Amino acid sequence: MTSAKAQVYEGFARIGKALSNPSRLELLDVLAQGERSVEELAAATGMRTSNTSAQLKELTRAGLAVSRRSGTRVRYRLADPRVAVLVEDAKRLAHARLPDVRQAARDWLGDPAALEPVTRDELAARLADGVVVLDVRPPAEYAGGHIPGALNIPADRLADRLTELPHGTDIVAYCRGRFCLMSLDAVRLLRARGHRARPLDGGIPEWRAAGHPTTVPAP
Amino acid sequence: MTSAKAQVYEGFARIGKALSNPSRLELLDVLAQGERSVEELAAATGMRTSNTSAQLKELTRAGLAVSRRSGTRVRYRLADPRVAVLVEDAKRLAHARLPDVRQAARDWLGDPAALEPVTRDELAARLADGVVVLDVRPPAEYAGGHIPGALNIPADRLADRLTELPHGTDIVAYCRGRFCLMSLDAVRLLRARGHRARPLDGGIPEWRAAGHPTTVPAP
DNA sequence: ACAATATTCCAAAGACTATTGGAGGTTCGG
DNA sequence: CCGAACCTCCAATAGTCTTTGGAATATTGT
């Protein structure tokens, strides 16, 4: 028998292995937005379906994703909201510790200041006087704790549900953190439709870390 | 030029790659307790020095560890307290999602109930009436937030500093979480020296998640 | 039962990774 | 400046991982 200790560490390593490949990380990013079929995931990431399927199998083996059959397709989703949090934390660390990642991120996303993010303190001060706060994460993560009073419209439903949002009032959108692009996309969409929208600087973890209140403690 | 986006994901993957190997995870566990020389790390993990050195180089490349020369030795440490937190979160997830890991963990560590852990609610209730709370994490992590009133004696200093602890009073020891073995080791040591000690069930993240207070918010 | 659609399996190629044992560097004390 | 101690580099090996293209399988609707 291989020692139980070795088995435990091998199991831990399975999680790391799942996060050790750019394609899989991209899949996780898409899955973090909601359930998707293999085909949709392949389209979103530009991979072949056979490869997408193989990588999804790895993610499943590592306990990060689960699937269910729905008619002729198989739909995958994150096994646990904590998966999205872990991935986001890893990204945050990479951004903080690896200068070349920081540089490449700037090249890819442009200057984040272009969308005029709202600082956390500014939002905290304005929470009382009726600014609309929009949480674009999937419901499971919203349920795990959100900014008090925030409205939850997941990023992939936003286009359908624009009528729920007011015109003429400031809308502040947020999601998981600095590398969660959903809030930036949301702001762009909202502006294109004539809303007054700005992203929050950082996501829920940064908000919490600054000592601001959320509805429920972290899981 | 490879696309900036690909570079960003490649950078994120570097973090995962560092966590994708059992030997490196074991090294991280030892480093999480404090600075160590290559030799000490090799001894603690049972690896050859050449291999230890190679894996430490990987950890450094991923931005998780840093080194400094001290005379004829090179001493490594975690680059950031968040590294220990990330590793612990990954372990927590593995334990929660992978049944074989849970089983192997039981085989390896035995029944955690054997040391009669104190529940979080019980500790919270007794904080007022003078129980001694012992935080065995390294000072950097203690500084990042701890249970109010906790005494900080890092695990690797405990044997030297036993005189700071009272006899005859209950001592509750805690560290990072369920897979952080330092608090269990601490309890065993304290009991061997005649103290009345019990571990806290879970570590700081679980304590926070239950809504109990810490001195400083999470980073 | 058949065709169409969506997914998984398979084999093969090429690229990486972990580990070993030994050679080569660096630093310190005498 | 020599020897000891410690660490890193190197080359070789065995093993694993990623991706591809095509074959096989499952499900649904006709």
Reported as a single tens digit per residue, the pLDDT across B35-46 is: 999 999 999 999
The pLDDT of residue A108: 87
The pLDDT of residue A219: 47
How does B59-83 read in b/e, with b if 16+ C-beta sit within 10 Å?
beebbbbebeeeeeeebbbbbbbbb
Q: Which nucleotides of D are covered by protein (CB under 7 A)?
A: 4-10, 17-23, 26-29
- A 10 A CB-CB count for B202 gives 22
Please, are residues B182 and B137 in contact by the beta-carbon 8 Å criterion? yes
Distance CA B107, CA B101 (A): 10
Q: Within 61-120 of chain A, which residues have Cβ less than 7 Å from strand C? A: 67, 72-75
Residue B16 structure tokens: 């995962």
Through-space separation of residue A69 CA and nucleotide D28 C1' in angstroms: 13
How does A63-93 read in b/e, with b if 16+ C-beta sit within 10 Å?
bbbebeeeeeeebbbbbbbbbbbbbbbbbbb
User: B77: pLDDT confidence band, cut at 50, 70 and 90?
Assistant: very high
- Asked if the model's pLDDT at residue A215 lies above 90, the reply is no
- Asked if the model's pLDDT at residue A1 lies above 60, the reply is no
Return the higher-pLDDT residue of B69 and A202: B69
User: B1: pLDDT confidence band, cut at 50, 70 and 90?
Assistant: low
- Tens digit of pLDDT for each residue in B10-36? 999 999 999 999 999 999 999 998 899
- Alpha carbon dihedral A19, A137, B85, B26, in 10-degree steps, equals -20
Give the mean pLDDT of B44-58: 96
Determine the 3-state secondary structure of B119 from DSSP: coil
- Tens digit of pLDDT for each residue in B153-202? 999 889 999 999 998 899 999 999 888 888 999 999 999 999 999 999 98
Give the mean pLDDT of A164-179: 90
Output DSSP code: residue A117: P
Give the mean pLDDT of A51-75: 96
Nearest CA in chain B to A17: B20
Distance CA B57, CA B71 (A): 19
User: A217: pLDDT confidence band, cut at 50, 70 and 90?
Assistant: low
Distance CA B61, CA B39 (A): 20
Please, are residues B131 and B219 in contact by the beta-carbon 8 Å criterion? no
pTM: 0.89
Distance separating the N- and C-terminal Cα atoms of chain B = 35
Distance CA A116, CA B3 (A): 26
Q: Is the CB of B69 under 7 A from strand C?
A: yes
The pLDDT of residue B181: 84
Helices (DSSP H) in chain B: which residue ranges? 4-18, 22-31, 38-45, 49-61, 81-97, 99-109, 120-126, 139-143, 182-192, 204-209
Distance CA A22, CA A129 (A): 43
Contacts of B179 (CB under 8 A, 6+ apart): B88, B91, B92, B95, B105
- Asked if the model's pLDDT at residue A110 lies above 90, the reply is no
User: A218: pLDDT confidence band, cut at 50, 70 and 90?
Assistant: low
Closest residue by Cα to residue B142 from B117, B174, B167: B174
Through-space separation of residue B62 CA and nucleotide C3 C1' in angstroms: 51
Distance from CA of B168 to the nearest CA of A (A): 35
Contacts of A54 (CB under 8 A, 6+ apart): none
Closest residue by Cα to residue A161 from A199, A130, A134, A142: A134
Q: Which nucleotide is nearest to A71 (CA to C1')?
A: D27
CA angle at A135 for the pair A130 and A136, rounded to the nearest 5°: 140
The pLDDT of residue B209: 78
Determine the 3-state secondary structure of A106 from DSSP: helix
User: B219: pLDDT confidence band, cut at 50, 70 and 90?
Assistant: very low
